[in-house]
Amino acid sequence: MKAIEKLLLAVENGKHICVGLDSDSDRLPKHLLTNDNPVFEFNKKIIEATRDYAAAYKINFAFYEALGIKGLEALIKTLKLIPSETLVIADAKRGDIGNTSKKYAQSIFGHLKFDSVTLHPYMGFDSIEPFKAYKAKLTFILGLTSNPSAKDFELQKLQNGNFLFQEVIKKVNDWNEFKNLGIVFGATKFKSLRENFGLIKNLPVLLPGVGAQGGGLKEVADLFLKNKKSDFLVNVSRSLIFADNSPNFQQRVREKIIELNEQVCS
């Protein structure tokens, strides 16, 4: 199944929540720390709790690479637990050129078999093209991100009067002849999202920043649904996976993802 088909299947079934597996080893429930690979055991319980309700999973590479071989083992074993019909995003934020970009794409799409990836566009089309060549995959390109320092570059004005992030979104539309590109737009930047909604056109959107970063789920979802655009994913990471640290934490995680989906669709 193509990546975009997995996304559309999920949203047709009322699922818009992307579970961010930012599985920080410093925040795991203490009762898991005696396991041989605590991060994997944590992910296993999170997936068991959310697999029937998640539109997608986003694996943030930093939390796995920081642990060396053990972390990479946890990442690979985690991938095997996720249902085959569910979209899996490599939150790797790659962005290089030439053979380097080809090898990054080969690693994420060819070897690890992720459905999707996040990229930054700073180096231009050369850095995107090797990923775009995997036509069955889905590549999310950073547009306007949720962090405060987005203003350092993304909100700089160009000579043509556009903000840099606006130019990025226009370029992604131009590059999207295979219909396998999307954008990342921070939910914390709701005013900018509303004002620039027309730029997005047919691009799927990944929206981080809800929860711990302060983005509002309901207002974001209402904007998309009011404009009859359903191909969006709202990523929720820390406020979901660390909602409870007790030995029964997965029960609270299950309740919370159900609540989040209900907020989107209500």
Report pLDDT for 138.
98
Asked whether residue 136 is assigned to any structural domain, the reply reads: no
- Across the strands, what pairs with 60? 91
Rounded average pLDDT over 143-172: 95
68-95 confidence digits (pLDDT tens): 999 999 999 999 999 999 999 999 999 9
Q: How confident is the model at residue 214 (pLDDT cuts 50, 70, 90)?
A: low
Q: Residues 244-263: what's their mean pLDDT?
A: 95
Residue 93 falls in the annotated catalytic set: yes
pLDDT grade for 146, boundaries at 50, 70 and 90? confident
Instruction: Provide the token pair at 123.
Output: 């180096």
Domain count, the chain: 1
CATH of the domain at 83: 3.20.20.70
Q: Give yes or no for residue 245 having a pLDDT over 60.
A: yes
Give mean pLDDT, residues 139-150: 94
Does 111 fall in a domain? no
d(CA 44, CA 38): 10
Residue 211 scores a pLDDT above 80: no
Domain containing 73 equals: 3-88+147-177+185-265
Residue 119 lies in a domain: no
Give the pLDDT score at 210: 80
- Examine the pLDDT at 212 and tell me if it is beyond 60: no
List 45, 70, 77, 93, catalytic entry: 93
Token digits for 85?
């019909």
37 located within any domain: yes
The answer to whether residue 113 is domain-embedded is: no
**131 in a structural domain:** no
